Amino acid sequence: MRAINPNETTRAYAFEMWMQAPNPMVTFFKTLDVSRLLKISRRKGLKFNMLMCYCIGRAAAQVKEFYLLPAGDKLMQYDTIAVNTIVANSAGEVSSCDVPYSANLEQFNSDYLRLTKQVAESCTDHDLSVESMVIGTSALAQYDIDGAVGMYSGVFNNPFMIWGKYKRAWFKTTLTISFQFHHTQMDGAHAAKFLTLLQREIDGVRV
């Protein structure tokens, strides 16, 4: 990552307006059709959460704002992105695991399985925040929730997604997600584009 001059980017106005705001975070909610992911998960023996993280990475990689992140009083630019997942560890607690995004599903799955196992056994977080712009996720897959809004700590400005249990009805499976982002990093239109791309990637994922 490297610090860049905000005035030389399309985020100059947002940087001026939102960097000092008391709460610069915005949260969107969207209900996704995840029928295809569930079908692939069951037929191919792939983890549903891994497939969600993969599609999140694919969608984010198409929105250039995801490669920027406000940090302190600077705007940082990254060459790569990663998707974070929360892992239940061997101590009965949770640890954080950053998985580097790869457009190749086989590679992403391999990294996901290797790194989450490593983190679960060692109880040590795997952190890629220095080298990659990390998209946080938290899957409360065993709980039926309608939505969640992330906390703004003033320290971590990364985009963050939360979801609970998917809901099945006849021939359709849906999942309600929340997406929180820093307004300096992107505008509502960029976030909405990302969520539209996410649904497209879910519908079109190939194994």
Q: Angle, nearest 10°, between helix axes 35-44 and 48-60?
A: 130
What are phi and psi for residue 125, nearest 5 degrees?
Answer: -60, 145
Question: Which residues lie across from 77 on neighbouring strands?
Answer: 2, 68
Asked if residue 102 lies in contact with residue 111, where contact means CB atoms within 8 angstroms, the answer is yes
Give the whole-number percent of the chain exceeding pLDDT 70: 100
CA distance linking residue 134 with residue 150, whole number of Å: 15
pLDDT digits (tens, 9 = 90+) for 64-119: 999 999 998 999 999 999 999 999 999 999 999 999 999 999 999 999 999 999 99
- Is a pLDDT exceeding 80 seen at residue 155? no
pLDDT digits (tens, 9 = 90+) for 13-58: 999 999 989 889 999 999 999 999 999 999 999 999 999 999 999 9
The length of the chain is: 207
Level-2 CATH architecture, domain 26-202: 2-Layer Sandwich (3.30)
Tokens representing residue 72 in the block: 């302190």
**How much is the pTM?**
0.96
- Is a pLDDT exceeding 90 seen at residue 170? no
Residue whose pair of structure tokens reads 């946080």 in the numeric block: 136
Write the DSSP assignment of 102-139 as a string of letters.
Answer: -S-HHHHHHHHHHHHHHHHHH---B--TTTSEEEEEEE
| Burial class of residue 113 (count of CB atoms within 10 Å of its CB; 0-12, 13-18, 19+) | middle
Tokens representing residue 176 in the block: 């309600």
pLDDT at 153: 74
Q: How many CB atoms lie within 10 A of CB 156?
A: 15
pLDDT at 169: 87
